[in-house]
């Protein structure tokens, strides 16, 4: 373990812990614990969302994907970015107006019932944990490779740190950790990009030539098709990515941290600007890696290409820069994981504990305690999972998460807000069908059922790596059919509900 790395590592860790401490002193009520007391401005929240979103998979994975595969890697970036439009146009404001703490609140605003709470909580739970595990795994790999620590140790460190943040700091700590991390990440990525350009004396053509020289694809490098071999895959992936974000609980509950609709819009726009810029810069970094380091060396280090960014840093700036970039990557992971734990914690303690187990009768202190305990529990569970999953391909789990979110959560959310004939039973059926479809298609697909290195060593029954194009429509269909077959008695007038969702105004309607 290099002394420099260790010092840096410790430094950044101390700094984030301090922010948590500062936040912990203010996080005394449940409202504050869950949603930072509505204090964040739109721009701050946007930065936090960006921080939540740009996970280790983005920073490390995409740089690597672009370095290895050129255009297809960039498609991932595009999908991630464009998804924010879906959020902005359809989902962000209604969620802000309808709920208070969790996604369950939103659906229950229209269908108040325990069943809905259960199903939403389960959905949020699953998605959050699935999203969390690749982060922990990625961080484990990262730290193992940089600091020469054992994989298990690294995962344990990350897991416990993250739990500490959330248990003591609540949402504020994670919001500010996200914001700080966003600033750090953006500025260091920017500077790194500048260094790449300056390395080639600001001659872009030279850079592009070197890229082609550095990869076996040669001139073909810039052509699409190296990763996503057939068009169905491409479309399937693209659609899943675009629709997925609007179903991710840990992003959606961020809209509770600001105080009105205008700030919500600002948040989404800010986040999209930041994320967009980020992905343009990662493009530069990916190309830079291909040019400076070259395909072969990259593959040697890690076959998934996850180490592209750190290796680039080392080549351009020596150990110092490598240490810095790794520290940033570490903070990235921590921030994202903290955000995920919050959303999973919310699902558990607010939806299940408060509403269902205790039937809505808990004191604030009890709720806070429950939230903290559940944060601890979730941290523990996911750490344990991650320990056992070190050979799983990280991108697999990330895309799984998006597909699950897009096929189970998203139909429910959209129909609740926009479809008059949506029913409670339809919601449940839709959710279940989406989950089942996506999970089973993945299990039956080439990720898991792979003759060479899958969990199940057989020929895959379903041939697409990205089953989104099938699973998502199934989810939507399930919801539609369920509602048509089992129309419910509406307890809530849809017109009123719609207006409340879109504008936050509660109108009492007379006898019309």
Q: Which residues bind other proteins (CB under 8 A)?
A: 3-4, 7-8, 11, 15, 18-19, 71, 74-75, 78, 81-82, 84-85, 88-90, 188, 191-192, 194-195, 198-201, 205, 208, 222-225, 231, 234-235, 238-239, 242, 261-262, 265, 268-269, 272-273, 276, 279-280, 316-321, 323-324, 498-499, 502-503, 505, 507
- Closest Cα to residue 310, out of 143, 161, 177, 179? 143
* Least CB distance to other proteins at residue 464 (A): 14
**Chain centroid, CA 303 distance in Å:** 23
Q: Which is nearer to other proteins, 85 or 436 (CB)?
A: 85
DSSP state string for 293-347: T-HHHHHHH-TT-TTHHHHHHHHHHHHHHHHHHHHHHHHHHHHHHHHHHHHHHII
- Written as six digits, the tokens of 298 are 């990259």
* Least CB distance to other proteins at residue 224 (A): 5
First to last CA, the chain: 73
* Least CB distance to other proteins at residue 168 (A): 16
Q: Which is nearer to other proteins, 11 or 484 (CB)?
A: 11
Q: Which is nearer to other proteins, 187 or 363 (CB)?
A: 187
User: Which residues does 477 contact at the CB level (< 8 Å), separation at least 6?
Assistant: 433
Give me the residues paired with residue 456 across strands.
Answer: 449
User: Which residues does 65 contact at the CB level (< 8 Å), separation at least 6?
Assistant: 72, 73, 76, 227, 286, 305, 395
* Least CB distance to other proteins at residue 315 (A): 10
Cα gap 339→36, rounded to integer Å: 13
CB–CB of 450/219 below 8 Å? no
Q: Which is nearer to other proteins, 85 or 448 (CB)?
A: 85
Cα gap 71→88, rounded to integer Å: 27
Q: Which is nearer to other proteins, 387 or 499 (CB)?
A: 499
CB–CB of 308/292 below 8 Å? no
* Least CB distance to other proteins at residue 96 (A): 13
* Least CB distance to other proteins at residue 227 (A): 12
Task: Give the other-Cβ count within 10 Å of 201's Cβ.
Answer: 8
Cα gap 158→379, rounded to integer Å: 10
* Least CB distance to other proteins at residue 308 (A): 18
Q: Which is nearer to other proteins, 319 or 366 (CB)?
A: 319
- Written as six digits, the tokens of 10 are 């410790």
Q: Which is nearer to other proteins, 492 or 507 (CB)?
A: 507
Q: Which is nearer to other proteins, 195 or 448 (CB)?
A: 195
Cα gap 128→122, rounded to integer Å: 10
CB–CB of 28/372 below 8 Å? no
Q: Which is nearer to other proteins, 48 or 344 (CB)?
A: 48
* Least CB distance to other proteins at residue 486 (A): 27
* Least CB distance to other proteins at residue 121 (A): 30
Q: Which is nearer to other proteins, 280 or 381 (CB)?
A: 280
Cα gap 158→22, rounded to integer Å: 20
Torsion over CA of 75, 76, 79 and 83, rounded to 10 degrees?
-160
* Least CB distance to other proteins at residue 194 (A): 5
What is the SS3 assignment for 35?
helix
* Least CB distance to other proteins at residue 186 (A): 13
Task: Give the other-Cβ count within 10 Å of 89's Cβ.
Answer: 11
Q: Which is nearer to other proteins, 238 or 295 (CB)?
A: 238
């Amino acid at each position: 373990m290099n002394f420099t790395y260790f010092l840096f590592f410790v430094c950044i860790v101390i700094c984030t812990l301090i922010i948590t401490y500062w936040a912990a002193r203010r996080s005394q009520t449940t409202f504050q614990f869950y949603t930072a007391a509505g204090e964040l401005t739109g721009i701050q929240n946007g930065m936090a969302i960006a921080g939540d979103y740009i996970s280790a998979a983005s920073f490390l994975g995409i740089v690597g994907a672009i370095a290895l595969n050129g255009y297809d890697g960039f498609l991932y970036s595009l999908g991630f970015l464009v998804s924010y439009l879906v959020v902005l146009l359809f989902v962000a404001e209604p969620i802000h107006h309808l709920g208070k703490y969790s996604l369950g609140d939103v659906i229950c605003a229209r269908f108040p019932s325990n069943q809905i709470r259960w199903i939403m909580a389960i959905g949020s739970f699953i998605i959050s944990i699935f999203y969390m595990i690749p982060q922990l795994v990625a961080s484990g790999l990262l730290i193992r490779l940089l600091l020469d620590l054992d994989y298990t140790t690294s995962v344990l460190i990350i897991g416990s740190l993250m739990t500490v943040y959330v248990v003591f700091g609540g949402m504020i700590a994670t919001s500010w950790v996200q914001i700080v991390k966003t600033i750090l990440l953006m500025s260091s990525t920017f500077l790194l990009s500048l260094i790449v350009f300056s390395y080639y004396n600001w001659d872009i053509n030279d850079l592009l030539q070197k890229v082609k020289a550095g990869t076996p694809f040669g001139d073909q490098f810039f052509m699409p098709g190296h990763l996503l071999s057939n068009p169905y895959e491409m479309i399937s992936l693209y659609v899943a990515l675009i629709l997925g974000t609007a179903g991710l609980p840990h992003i959606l509950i961020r809209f509770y941290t600001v105080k009105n609709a205008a700030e919500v819009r600002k948040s989404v726009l800010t986040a999209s600007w930041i994320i967009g810029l980020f992905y343009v810069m990662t493009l530069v970094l990916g190309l830079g890696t291909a040019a400076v380091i070259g395909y072969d060396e990259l593959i040697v280090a890690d076959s998934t290409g996850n180490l592209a960014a750190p290796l680039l840093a080392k080549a351009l700036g020596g150990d110092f820069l490598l240490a810095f970039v790794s520290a940033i990557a570490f903070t990235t992971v921590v921030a994202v994981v903290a955000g995920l734990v919050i959303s999973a914690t919310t699902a558990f303690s607010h939806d299940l504990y408060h509403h269902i187990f205790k039937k809505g009768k808990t004191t604030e202190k009890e709720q806070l305690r429950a939230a903290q305990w559940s944060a601890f529990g979730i941290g523990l569970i996911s750490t344990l999972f991650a320990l056992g999953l070190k050979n799983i391909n990280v991108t697999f789990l990330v895309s799984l998460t998006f597909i699950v979110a897009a096929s189970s959560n998203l139909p429910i959310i959209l129909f609740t807000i926009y479809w008059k004939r949506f029913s409670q039973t339809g919601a449940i059926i839709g959710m279940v069908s989406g989950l089942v479809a996506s999970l089973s298609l993945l299990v039956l697909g080439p990720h898991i059922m792979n003759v060479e290195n899958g969990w199940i060593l057989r020929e895959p029954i379903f041939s697409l790596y990205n089953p989104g194009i099938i699973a998502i429509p199934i989810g939507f269909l399930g919801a539609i059919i369920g509602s048509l077959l089992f129309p419910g008695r509406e307890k809530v007038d849809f017109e009123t509900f719609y207006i409340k969702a879109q504008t936050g105004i509660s109108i009492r309607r007379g006898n019309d």
